[in-house]
Every structure is written in C-alpha cells, then in structure tokens.
Amino acid sequence: MNNSSKVFIADGIDKVYAMGDVKVNALRDISFSIQTGEYVAIMGPSGSGKSTLMHIMGCLDRPTSGSLYLRGKDIGSLSDGELAEIRNTEIGFVFQNFNLLPNMSILENVELPLLYAGMPARERRTRATWALEVVGLADRLRHKPNEISGGQKQRVSIARAMVNQPAILLADEPTGNLDTATGKEIMALFDELNAKGNTIILVTHERDVAEHATRIIYILDGRIEHFEFRIQDEEEHVPVWEVVEA
Amino acid sequence: MNLKEFIRIAFHSLSANKLRTALSLLGIIIGVASVITMVAIGTGAQEQVTGQIGAMGSNLITVSPGFSRGGGGRISQDIADVFTLEMAEAIKNASPNIKHVVPTSETSGLAVYRGNNVRVRISGVTPEYQEVINHYPLVGRYVREQDVANSEKVTVLGSEVASELFGPENPVGQSIRVVIGDRSYSLRVIGVMESKGQVMMANYDNRIYVPITMLIKRGLKTRYVDGYSIEAASRDVAKSVVQEVEVFMTRMLGDADRFRVMSQDTILETVSQATGTLTLLLGAIASIALLVGGIGIMNIMLVTVSERTREIGIRKAIGAKRKHILMQFLLEAVLLSGLGGILGLGTGWAGGYWLSRGLGWPFSVSPVAVVIAIGFSVCIGLFFGIYPASKAASLDPVVALRYE
Ligand SMILES: Nc1ncnc2c1ncn2[C@@H]1O[C@H](COP(=O)(O)OP(=O)(O)OP(=O)(O)O)[C@@H](O)[C@H]1O
Ligand SMILES: [Mg+2]
C-alpha cells in the first residue's frame, strides 16, 4: 500500500468512554483511509460517534485502541504538545456552533492560530485579513462575533480554520445551525477550498450537504455501516451513488 | 513566545469582567496598603524616638542602679542606696574625656500656687545639669552652686507648670508650695525653663527643678541620689568613656552588678531594636491581609478557569499549547496582583501620611518596603495563580469543548 498519498489511515479504532461503571463504546473497529485532496462526508444518526471520530481525526483526542495515522504518523504516540502543533498548522477545524471567542474582534479571532504559531503581529494582521477576504468578510474586521449573523460567524470560523493554510479542513456539522440558503453559501466555500486542493472532511445530517463530497462514510452505532462513492454519470448529469458495504 | 501579546490578552480578559477584577484587586490593595501603612508607622515611630535621642545630645551617658537578680521567689528590683553626692566628683576622675558628672534624683509631687495645683516631676539638679541635657531657663535663672551648697528652697519651673500655675503672670519671685510625700515646702521661683516638649517618653515641661541637696536632704531625707548624668567630651569618645566609668565604678563599689552605665548610643540601639521589632510585627500582621488577598485571587482565578473552560478548549483546538494557556492565566493573576500592589502602595502611602500627621510623627516609606510590597504581591499572584493556571493548562481539549 502506498501511504504517501493518504492523509488519514484509520486502523481498527475503538473509543470507549468510561462513565463510572458504565462503558460507552462510541467507536468500534473503525478502519478507512482518506486520500490527499479528497472530499469526504461522514453521516449517521445522532449519537452514532461522528463527533468522536472527528475529534480523533482533528488530533483533539486519541483512540482508546487501534491507530490513526496522519500522513504516516501514529497520532496516538504523539505528545500533547506535538498534537497541539498539528492542530495549529496541519488541520483546520470548523465547529457547528462556531466557537468564536466572544470578547475578541473577528480579526483577532482569526489571528489567534497565528499567534500560537508565533507569527509577528504585522504578518498576522495581513494573513488574517487575507483569510477574511477569502470568506467575504473583509469589511467586518472590527466587529465582535455577537454583532454578525450565524452564516457570517461560520465564515469567520472557516477563515480561522484556514488562516494557517492547513492542507486538511475538518468540519463538524458546519451547516447545522444555519438555514438552507446560508448553508449553501458555506458549502460553496468548502467546494472552492476543495477545488484548491484541500482535503475536506465534514460531518452532516443532511443528504444535500453530504452530496457535495465525493465519498460518504455512513456510521451507525460506532461502526462504519457502509461507504457511498459518487460515480459521475456522463449522460444524465446527476450524481450516482454506489453503495459499498463495509 | 510573544510576551507583549500575551499581556495584552490578559488585560483584555481582566477588563472584560470589571466588577470582578475590581473586587479581587481590592483584596490585594487592602493587603499592600496595610503593609505600607503599618511599616510607615513603625519606621515613623523609630525616627521620632531616635531623632529625640539625637536632640538630647548623643554624648550623654547615664549611670543608674543595677538590679538585684530575681529568683528564689524574690522580685528583681533596682538596687537602691548606692550612689552618693560625693561620688559624682570622684567619677569625674574616671576619664579625661568627661566634661561633667551631675548627680540626679527625681520624685513626684504636687505644686500649688493659690487656687491652682498640678502634678509634677521634681528633679534635683546641679548647675551643670542644664548643659548636660541641653535645657536652659527662658526667664530668671537656673539653680546655682550656692543654692546647692545651702540646700536652698528655690525652684525653676518647667514651661507647662509655669503656665498652669501662673497663667500669663510672671512666676519669678513668687512662692509656690510643693507637696512631697506628706510634707509640704514653700519654694521661691527663680526661673522658668524654655519649652522642650516630649523627649523619649519623658516630658521635660511638666517638671520643676530644685537644688539636688534640697530634694534629697530636705525632701527625701536620704544621703543617696538616683544616679548620675555624665557628659562626655564628644560623641566619639562616649563609648570609651562608658567603659572607663564601668571599670572605675567597679573598682570603687567592688561590684559590677550594682550599677549600669549607658550611653545614648546604647539606648538608641536598644530603642531602634525595639521599634524595629514593632515594625516587623506590624508588617507581619499586615502581611496576613495580603495573604488573604492572595487567596482571593486564587479563588477568582479558579472561578475564571471553570467559567472559561470552553474558551480554553477553543484555544487549545486551534493550537494553543500547555505553556500558552499557563502563561495566559498566570499573567492574569500576576497582573491582577501587581496592579493591586501598585494601587495598594498609593493607598498605603496616603494612609500612612495621614496617620503620621495625626500622630505628629515623621512620615517615611522606605524604598525597601515599597519593593517588598510590590514584589511580594507579584509573588502572591504567581503563587496563588499557578494552581488555577496549571489546572487550565492541563484541561483536555475535547472535554473543554464538550463543556456546556
Ligand atoms: N465525554 C464523553 N463521555 C461519555 N460519553 C461520551 C462522551 N462523548 C461522547 N460520548 C458518547 O459517545 C457517543 C457518540 O457521541 P458523539 O458526540 O460522537 O455522537 P454524534 O454522532 O456526534 O452525535 P450528534 O449527531 O448528536 O452530534 C454518544 O453515545 C455519546 O453519549
Ligand atoms: Mg456530533
């Protein structure tokens, strides 16, 4: 197997939450791989373990057993500091509820990853302004998060995720708190970023949203239930999804 | 790491919750202010006392009775009946650096003039005494050699006594009655002293001065005096004069325990030691307030950390390392306590100034106290901030993000 073109390889990941005597098996024996530049959607009912998986891929958490390789590195063997560095430079994370810091201006929010990367102030400003221009918010730099709409907040969140130019963008229900029209705008942004070569993995409940991806991973009860691949049907110009059992 | 940036962030979050910041500042302000005030009062007292001793002439040496050792149920007490009038002349031979030796005796009594009466200290003196303690009559004259030789019934009044007995009237030439024990004497006023004020616990203005012979022979019916005041030729020789007098008197009395010889400098040392201890004690008590302020900071920081769990999660999610979070919260605590220290310094300064003015003491805040107070409060911030900060820094990003 040629691993160099794979961003992620999940190899039998289990995640168990122990709550007193009760053990919750949030993920069981998850295995898959994701290519550089792929556009993947993860679907599944509530409580199936989508966020848990995203957190592990986002290097926010480690698997209980099994391994997740990020470009060949087993993240389970990395220190907290190394994981923080990966979160800072290699992965951008977009949350359903935006997770912006309320006391800071939009510009400062977007600058934050660069601050932790140790970039000087002037350069930070330029880069953050650029990222906000990309998401179409160049005119709202001084506003606080509570002064803008939900769609705009998600744009800020995306700008923050991509400001350090990571190759991988993870989004956990990025349109979950937005209306359909706004959700479409956000998805257009992701499509654009994927077209530029970014690997994008997103979690969603909505079929429409998931169909922006080229592959859907369907999770049920912590297990991968099936994959769906988009096959371009040249004649009918509508995507056809081929189901492959796990 | 970009320290300036992190200080800005810390300021930012402190100003986001102004009331809480102000309240936790208050704890430190009160702590530092009380340390500064207390130490200022202590050092003020010290300067007050030592300044007075200096004013009395630092070449003054006093000889006073020794104590008999307490023990075996006996109370330690001054040995009496050792010093005689005549010994004063002899002591003069102890050293060539002695200018004067004057015998001194004191008692208390009541001075009466017409309807007025006042409690007074009665000092038996010789003419040289005025020179020795630097205290001269303002009107009239002092006790003379002849008055001493004849045990004359004359007196020089302290300024307070004069004004209380006579008001605006000139006392010189009048007679007052002085009651010592159960006897009463009629004394002719020959002078009034200049005002000297309170010097080292002793008030020189509510005294009257009489010839020493008059006091001990007529008043106290004794041959003995309380002790001697010796004026050394200069401050520099005072120390060696003390030793010479000690040697001389040991030979004369055959017992080194029957007397004590002290120069102003040794008294000065003793007093500064005592007031130094007082200052330290006051400072220590005030430090408790500072400590309580520090605990207040820790409390606030702990609340802050748990309130901002989500913020910490977000910061970690986008790449903040342990050290970044640690630094952020530690800086907040240190800024809080440092700011409190500076404000407390101002408050304490004002409070100390106001108090010393009320007490009529010199006001001084030693730079050492300032440095210690500020440094200590910053250390308090560090000490009490480190636990909350490391608690924040070690939060698991996922747990923090899922935190509602
Ligand atoms: N910290 C935790 N402690 C205990 N159990 C947890 C914890 N986090 C998640 N779980 C459990 O793991 C399971 C998967 O949770 P997860 O959040 O990954 O689901 P999800 O697929 O993202 O659901 P949703 O669509 O509602 O967001 C759930 O049963 C949840 O209760
Ligand atoms: Mg979820």
The predicted-structure confidence for B119-151, as pLDDT tens digits, reads as follows 999 999 999 998 888 889 999 999 999 999 999
User: Whole-prediction pTM value?
Assistant: 0.72
- pLDDT score of B166 more than 60: yes
Burial of A79 (0-12, 13-18, 19+ CB in 10 A): exposed
- pLDDT score of B400 more than 90: no
The answer to the question of residue A227 being in a domain is no
The answer to the question of residue A180 being in a domain is no
Mutation to probe ligand 1, out of A52, A60, A173 (largest number of atoms < 8 A from CB) = A52
Residue ranges per domain, chain B? 3-52+270-401, 60-233
- pLDDT score of A184 more than 90: yes
The answer to the question of residue A54 being in a domain is no
The answer to the question of residue A137 being in a domain is yes
- pLDDT score of A2 more than 60: no
In chain A, % of residues over pLDDT 70: 97
Burial of B230 (0-12, 13-18, 19+ CB in 10 A): buried
Residue nearest to atom 6 of ligand 1 (CA): A17
C-alpha closest to that of B21 among B255, B393, B340, B386:
B340
The answer to the question of residue A101 being in a domain is yes
- pLDDT score of A153 more than 50: yes
Integer distance in angstroms from the first to the last C-alpha of chain B? 30
CB B91 within 8 A of CB B250: no
The answer to the question of residue A108 being in a domain is yes
The predicted-structure confidence for A92-132, as pLDDT tens digits, reads as follows 999 989 999 998 999 999 999 999 999 999 999 999 999 99
Q: What confidence score (pLDDT) does residue A1 get?
A: 47
From ligand 2's centre to the CA of B51, what distance in Å?
77
Q: Which residue has the higher pLDDT, B34 or A170?
A: A170
Q: How many Cβ atoms are within 10 Å of A230's Cβ, its own excluded?
A: 16
* Mean pLDDT for the stretch of residues B330-338: 91
Mean pLDDT of chain B: 86
Q: CB pairs below 8 Å between A and B: how many?
A: 67
Alpha-carbon gap, residue B136 to B57, rounded angstroms: 14
- pLDDT score of B1 more than 80: no
Range of the domain at A111: 91-165
Confidence bin at B50 (pLDDT 50/70/90): confident
In chain B, % of residues over pLDDT 70: 93
In chain A, % of residues over pLDDT 90: 84
The answer to the question of residue A124 being in a domain is yes
Calculate the alpha carbon distances from B152 to A99, A124, B184, B189 in Å: 100, 98, 15, 11
In total, how many domains does chain A have? 1
Q: Of all helices (H) and strands (E), which one includes residue B184? A: strand B183-193
**In a mutagenesis test of the A interface, which of B304, B318, B328, B390 is the best target, namely the one with the most A β-carbons within 10 Å?**
B318
Q: What confidence score (pLDDT) does residue A85 get?
A: 94
The answer to the question of residue A151 being in a domain is yes
The predicted-structure confidence for B57-75, as pLDDT tens digits, reads as follows 668 888 888 876 655 655 6
Among the partner residues A81, A99, A120, nearest to B314 by beta-carbon distance: A99
